Amino acid sequence: MAFFLFIGGVHAEELAENAESALLLEVSTGKVVYEKNADKKLAPASMTKVMSMLLIMEAIDSGKLSFDDDVVISDNASSMGGSQIFLQTGEKYKVQELIKGIAVASGNDAVVAMAEKVSGSVDAFVEAMNNKAASLGLKNTHFDNPHGLESENHYTTARDMSVMAIELLKHEKILEFTSIYEDYLKKPDGSSVWLVNTNRLVRFYEGVDGLKTGYTDQAGYCITTTAKRGDMRLLSVVMNAETSDARSKDTVNMLNYGFNTYKLDILLSKEKDLGEVKIEKGNVTSTKLYIEKDVTILSKVTDDKEEYTYNLVVEPIKAPVSSEDIVGSLEVIDQNGNVIKEVDVIVKEEVKQANILQLFTRAFNTITSGFPI
């Protein structure tokens, strides 16, 4: 006898009836609310570029690379087949132009040019991709190239793809590129190449601002999509649908289900001052504490709002302390006394070590404060 799970007015299997594999989650909590064969290894096609863009954005945020850096197009990059933005050997472009070419038009030539820029060679970049996958705990992912053209040992899963996508979304600047529906790339000779987003949902579904499509004969039609409405951001993955319309239909079904069925409550804002902590041997004696990110809870729109308590756990702190250093954690406790979430606690102020004069003055004040005047 077949068993069908009924959720939100539709059968669960109907949310992604066209895809071989699919997944839907809420980004801030990481809570998966729907999945179908989410751990099945499949070819990702150009969704591979989610990992490629992640390494590029990390290089930029670390200072290794700048949006304004020049990139000279190699023979290898210009010879790439598949989707491309028609780069020619010897042409020079800014990093930001090539990122746009990857994010919007899925340019294989652009991503190879950036792989060479970031790591010196495509092979070194692919090694970095696999190292990053390992560091994220992705045991069902392996990359052979930075673009996603068919290769026997090139695969991932819907679940692993969601982890990569969440990591990429931490670099919020990427959404300025993935949300572009159409634009032009100016070439050095004065001509222009029209770039139109391979993700049509950017234009036709409210809140969609990324992330990456894919297609090859082996992979079928794939898409990793993110959409935000209000405070809630959803992420969906569709792998191996038969047509572009089918992958869009499954994506829309999942996003509609997520937005219609769930709500996100911000229990505690990352901007809230949690109080002060003493700093040993610092140039100041205390500094304020904050949580690293908002404390959010995902629940169904039909659920009653729960009450939570918090437990702040901070170890003794010695100077020096850098801004954004993690100094403890905040436990979120439900009505049954269970710790349901832990969030890192940080300081936002740099605290240097006190100099000898400051330490002497404090010691003197401590001693003299005990004497009557």
How many C-beta atoms lie closer than 10 Å to residue 190's C-beta?
6
Q: Catalytic: 31? A: no
How many angstroms separate the CA atoms of 253 and 251, rounded?
Answer: 5
Q: Catalytic: 36? A: no
Q: According to DSSP H, which parts of the chain are helical?
A: 12-15, 49-61, 75-78, 95-103, 108-119, 122-135, 158-169, 175-178, 201-204, 244-261, 356-368
The DSSP result for 1-63, as a single string, is -----EETTEEHHHHTTT-SEEEEEETTT--EEEEESTT--B--GGGGHHHHHHHHHHHHHTT
Tokens matching residue 307: 């009450």
Q: At what angle do helices 49-61 and 158-169 cross, to 10 degrees?
A: 30
Catalytic: which of 21, 28, 52, 106? 106
Catalytic: which of 21, 28, 46, 52? 46
Q: Catalytic: 106? A: yes
Q: Contact, 23 vs 35, CB < 8 A? A: yes
Catalytic: which of 49, 100, 117, 212? 49
| Residues belonging to the active site | 46, 49, 106
